[in-house]
Amino acid sequence: MVKYLAKDDLKCIQCGTCEEVCSSAYFKTKDRFKSCIQINEEQGKPEISVCSQCGKCIDICPVMAISRDKQGIVRINKKICVGCFMCVGFCPELSMRQHDDYIEPFKCIACGLCAKKCPTGAISMAEKDDSQSQELKLDKLFNK
Amino acid sequence: MIKVNNRDFQWEQGMTVDDIMKIKKFSWPKIIVKINGQHVEEEDYKTRIVNDGDDVQMLHLLAGG
Amino acid sequence: MDIKVLRDNHKLLAEYKYELGKIDKGYTGRSLFVNISENKIESKPVSQMMKDKFVGGKGFGLWYLWNATTPSTKWNDPENEIIICGGPVCGITQYPGSGKSLVCSISPATDMPIDSNVGGYFGPLLKFSGWDALELQGKSEKDIIIVIDGNNGTVRIEEASLEAVDGHVLGEQLTEMYADNEEDKRNVAVVTAGSGAEHTRMGLLNFTFYDPRRKVARLKQAGRGGIGTVFRDKKVKALVVKFSSVKGDLNNPFDQGILNRTGIKLHKEVHDLDPKQNNMRKIGTANIIEVMDEYDLLPVMNYQYGNHPDTQKIKSTVFIDKYITQGVQDGCWYGCSLACAKAADNFLLKTGPYKGHKVTVDGPEYENAAGLGSNCAIFDPEGILELNFYCDTYGIDTISFGTATAFAMECYERGIINKEITGGLELNFGNFDSAAQLLHQMSKGEGFGVVVGQGIHRMKELFAEKYGADADFLFDIGMEQKGLEYSEYGSKESLAQQGGYGLTNKGPQHDEAWLIFMDMVNNQIPTFEDKAEALHYFPMFRTWFGLYGLCKLPWNDIAPANNKFTSEPAKIPEHVQNYLDIVYGVTGKRLGTDDMVRESERVYNFQRIFNIRLGKGLRKNDKTPYRSMGPVTKEEYESRQERYDGQLKEKIGYDVTGKTTEEKMAVLRSYREDQYEKLTDAVYKRRGWNSNGVPTIEHLKELGMDLPELIEVVKGLQ
């Protein structure tokens, strides 16, 4: 199973609490541009932008710094990362983040802190089937 | 008669941008089409009729290995 | 063989310890000089003059080469050098195509400077190890390797007698030997040649990049002009560099934010548009095989024709569907989302010393599919992949091999050479087995393969002198100029491209200008002046990539969605601006498009004068074979008679009624040759050269390139 942050745009009131919680937890600062979850506005309506743990970025990374952990969460190993930001450009949800203060990208790791503080239940922790993971199976691909 | 890339080209009634591309065997994926200086979008190639006397440009963006 | 046994057998010849240093805005400020005749290793400062006038990359390479050699230096003299230099932008990881190395040497094919642009990790890791360039001089008596350890600050010359010579084996051996573990393998980059480089003049250099998914040391090639031949003549088996902590900001750039933004913008563009445009991520440059066929530009049977019904057997989708592994990140340096370095995995070899092995074949690139495939009429995808593999591992340039083999095949088909001369090889067009045999002979240094391996220029001389062939006819059909084989495009119907091949510094390679669509199809540059402008701008613009350590493909193998609304879509203005932005981001130098051209002009004119210094580089050297300009034979004319007859009527007003093919051919030829001369006049004028192709002193002054040593060369030729 894959743990992820489920979202319901219709319930979002754009209060910004999730962004504050995330950037505080992640970077010890209140800055929405340093938050893994970001609330945008699309044609006057709130749109929650956050990683769906699809795993597309896993195959994009040139150094295999991105992988899925035991809980199915897609994580970046910043020690290995070479800061190319291809994963940012190729994220189907546009939810892989980059900030000039850091040379590595960052993303939602489904920790659930923001969901706990969301006043309307627009975001919540959920699980989905492995079959929705989109990364390649390398062993199969190379017959190794 | 019309012009295609500033060369004479035999015009026929009802001819579309797509028809010309087929006759010229223009298969390159990056072609800019203009008729009398006006851009034609790719989704309109099959429906955009070319009129007699039109100046058609089918500019292939250069590339190469 | 056990890696430990190989390593234990090494004998240390010299060791040099250095301070690791720090990169400042793209430059380390010093070059590593290694002389292997004397086992001397030293650090040389990079001067402000070098940065101002030569920038980096091939600019530095040519400058070092000029200073190391004399007007009489030959390719196999000890003073000849191999210089590898990335350039100031080389090594950034955010913008696609930013890890290129430029390699310069005096070429065994052309006897003048050659430069080759190559991917792989050597250039960036060399810089991160503390060196803007590696300058390699001298000749060793025994096989050696040079190992640069950028973690600990040591450079060692070691005798290495047991290692393999062939690229795919040696690359693996040395990667394994110098990596601490599997994860560390991507931090080791190796440069090798191969066994074929020892016996031919078309030897290349393989630059590795370790692929952590395939677990293979992949190979990119500095292919053109025989630099691998020089490498093996110096008895260098390999160069190794190791640097284990690559990050995205090691160039210590002036403004990292600009690099991040510009890179991400292009990544998004590639993500959104590449599937609708060139499909680079799926098949790389081979996407154009069938396109070239449709436009009658694919070289078929030694450039006699431009298409063939069997091209469908080798079209890009055949490789995508059946051979090339899809969906794997295939960049030859970090951050290349265009990812054109494709590979066929688990490919079973059918011939040669590695028969029965399952290997990863890097390719095919378009040039390989066209040169090894259609040009030799080998319309067989597995044949192309096999020749591609062996060319790489033997260290043989696929382009020179393909074009030279196509020439030998035509000579064989026309009875100019026969089975006795070829040692029994039936060199008919389409004969894969014979082509593979030639290649295996090049590796072993035996048979007719060694003759073909000398290149077309020397084959022409041999066939005329020894076998009584008609030298004029050989000149017409031998697709070489300046000693270098043509790359794989038919240029008969594009005068501008005839110049794009012929009016180049290093020989007929399309990396200076590819103008066929602008000229032949779009009819955008109808006058001589228009063509001359294009043959000024594009060669300068494309030279510029080689000064900074960049790849040209992300410039125009992807285009922004709104590119068509710009005033000059062919130049892809937004991407040009991206380049100016990343140069600013790295160096802090704010350039405009005119400055870009100017920077290139300095190096371009320097290279021209370098050619002149070596007795070349004049108008007579820019003459091209007629096969590149028009139909040499009756068959060629008659295969496209409607086209040629039409041109005779429309362009010259010549009445073709009742005329024989021979009569028409003669008139067409005289017209086309005259056009090329007029084009040459216009191009020289635009480039600031006199009618003999010599840069004028006035022009050199304007460029700030009136260096006394350059004036000395050109002053008697004004």
C214 neighbourhood in chain A, CB within 8 Å = 142
The CATH code of the domain that includes B12 is: 3.10.20.30
* Residue of A86, A93, A103 to mutate, interface with C, max C Cβ within 10 Å: A86
- Using a threshold of 3 CB pairs under 8 A, tell whether chains B and A touch: no
- Alpha-carbon distance values, C671 to A5, B39, C469 (Å): 72, 37, 27
- Nearest alpha carbon to residue C43 among C57, C54, C29: C29
Report how far residue A44's alpha carbon sits from residue A65's, in angstroms, rounded to the nearest whole number: 37
pLDDT tens per residue across span B4-57: 999 999 999 999 999 999 999 999 988 999 999 999 999 999 999 999 999 999
pLDDT band for B62, please (50, 70, 90 cuts). confident
Please check whether residue B43 lies inside any domain of the structure: yes
How close A101 gets to chain C, by Cα (Å)?
A: 9
Domain membership flag for residue B65: no
The domains of chain C are located at 3-242, 274-485, 495-558+592-717
- Residues of chain C with Cβ-Cβ distance to B25 below 8 Å are 294-295
Structure tokens at C13: 């010849």
Residue B65 has pLDDT above 70, yes or no: no
Instruction: Quote the pLDDT of residue B63.
Output: 53
Q: Which residue in C84, C29, C36, C90 sits closest to C62, CA to CA?
A: C84
**Closest CA relative to residue C220, chosen from C366, C65, C362:** C362
Which residue of C337, C340, C361, C582 to mutate against A (max A Cβ within 10 Å)? Answer: C337
Give domain C274-485's CATH architecture: Orthogonal Bundle (1.10)
Taking only residues 158 to 217 of chain C, the set having a beta carbon closer than 8 angstroms to any beta carbon of chain A reads: 183, 186, 212-215
Mean pLDDT score, A128-136: 91
Model pLDDT for residues C610-649, shown as the tens digit of each residue: 999 999 999 999 999 999 999 999 999 999 999 999 999 9
Cα–Cα distance between C159 and C172 in angstroms, integer? 18
What's the pLDDT score for residue C422?
98
Closest to C256 (Cβ–Cβ): which among A90, A100, A136?
A: A100
Taking an 8 Å cut-off on Cβ atoms, the answer to whether C291 and B65 are in contact is no
Q: Is the pLDDT of residue B64 over 70?
A: no
For residue C104, what are its two tokens?
């310069």
Neighboring chains of B (3 or more beta-carbon pairs < 8 A): C
- Residues A142, C331: C-beta atoms closer than 8 Å: no
Number of CB pairs < 8 Å for A and C?
85
Instruction: Point out the residue among C260, C328, C335 whose CB comes nearest to the CB of A98.
Output: C260
Window C:246-285, CB contacts with B under 8 Å: 276-278, 285
For the question of an ipTM over 0.85, the answer is yes
C707 at A interface, C-beta within 8 A: no
Partnered with residue A144 across adjacent β-strands are none
Q: Do you know the residue count of chain B?
A: 65
The answer to whether the CB atoms of A83 and C93 lie below 8 A apart is: yes
Q: From chain B, pick out residues whose CB is under 8 angstroms from the CB of C562.
A: none
| Interface contact C329-A61, CB threshold 8 A | yes
Partner C, chain A 1-20, Cβ-Cβ below 8 Å:
none
Q: A136 at the C interface (CB within 8 A)?
A: yes
In this structure, what is the dihedral angle of CA atoms C20, C21, C23, C28, given to the nearest 10 degrees? -90
Percent of chain B with pLDDT over 70: 95
CB-closest option in B7, B28, B32 to C569: B32
Q: Which residue of B has its CA nearest to C297?
A: B64
Helix H or strand E segment including B39: strand B38-40
Using CB atoms, which residue from B39, B62, B65 is nearest to C564?
B39
Mean residue pLDDT of chain C comes to 97
A interface mutation test: which of C183, C213, C251 has the most A CBs within 10 A?
C213
> Does the beta-carbon distance from A83 to C186 stay under 8 Å?
no
Say yes or no: A98 contacts chain C, CB-CB below 8 A. yes
Decide if C288 touches B, using CB distance below 8 A. Answer: yes
Residue C324: phi and psi, rounded to 5, are -85, 120
Integer Rg of chain B from CA = 11
Cβ separation C212–A82 shorter than 8 A: no
How far apart CA C99 and CA C112 sit, in angstroms, is: 26
> Of C136, C135, C148, C97, which is closest to residue C118 (Cα–Cα)?
C97
Overall domain count for chain B: 1
Give the CATH fold of the C3-242 domain.
Aldehyde Ferredoxin Oxidoreductase;  A, domain 1 (3.60.9)
pLDDT of residue A109: 97
Residues in A 52-81 with any Cβ partner in C closer than 8 A: 59-64, 80-81
Q: Is residue B14 part of a domain?
A: yes
Interface of B with C (CB under 8 A): 5-7, 25-30, 32, 39, 57-65
* Percentage with pLDDT > 70 across chain A: 99
| C173, amino acid identity | Q
Q: Is B52 helix (H, G, I), strand (E, B) or coil?
A: coil
Pick the CATH number of C495-558+592-717 from 1.10.599.10, 1.10.150.20, 3.40.50.12590, 1.20.1440.130: 1.10.599.10
Residue keyed to tokens 């077309």: C456
Domain that holds residue B37: 2-60
Q: What is the average pLDDT value for chain B, to the nearest integer?
A: 93
First-to-last alpha carbon distance for chain A, in angstroms, is: 25
Shortest distance between the Cα of C273 and any Cα of chain B, in A, equals 11
Nearest CA in chain C to A138: C213
Q: Which residues of C touch B62 (CB under 8 A)?
A: 514-518, 556, 570
Q: Which one of B4, B6, B30, B55 would you mutate to disrupt binding with C, by most C Cβ within 10 Å of its Cβ?
A: B30
Q: Are C84 and C103 in contact (CB under 8 A)?
A: yes
Chain B nearest-CA residue for C511? B65
Residues of C in contact with A89 (CB under 8 A): 263-268, 270-271, 337
Residue C117 has a CB neighbour count (10 Å cut-off) of 22
Q: C240 has which bridge partners?
A: C147, C190
Query: Do the chains contact at A64 and C246, CB–CB below 8 Å?
Result: no
**A12 has a pLDDT exceeding 90:** yes
**pTM score, two decimals?**
0.97
Residue A133 touches partner C, C-beta closer than 8 Å: no
Residue B50 within a domain: yes
Select from C304, C332, C387 the least CA-distant residue to C550.
C332
C-chain residues near B39 (CB < 8 A): 564-565
Q: Which 3 state secondary structure label does DSSP give C413?
A: helix
Q: Do chains C and B touch (3 or more CB pairs under 8 A)?
A: yes
Kindly give the parts of chain C with pLDDT less than 70: 1
Tell me the two tokens of residue C152. 């600990």
Q: Given an 8 Å threshold on Cβ–Cβ distance, is A90 in contact with C248?
A: no
Between CA C631 and CA C226 the distance in angstroms is 30
The chains in contact with chain C, meaning 3 or more Cβ pairs closer than 8 Å, are A, B
The residue in chain C having the minimum alpha-carbon distance to the alpha carbon of residue B59 is C522
Q: Which residues, 6 or more positions from C99, have their beta carbon under 8 angstroms from its beta carbon? A: C86, C90, C91, C119, C120, C121, C123, C124, C332, C333, C334, C335, C336, C549, C551
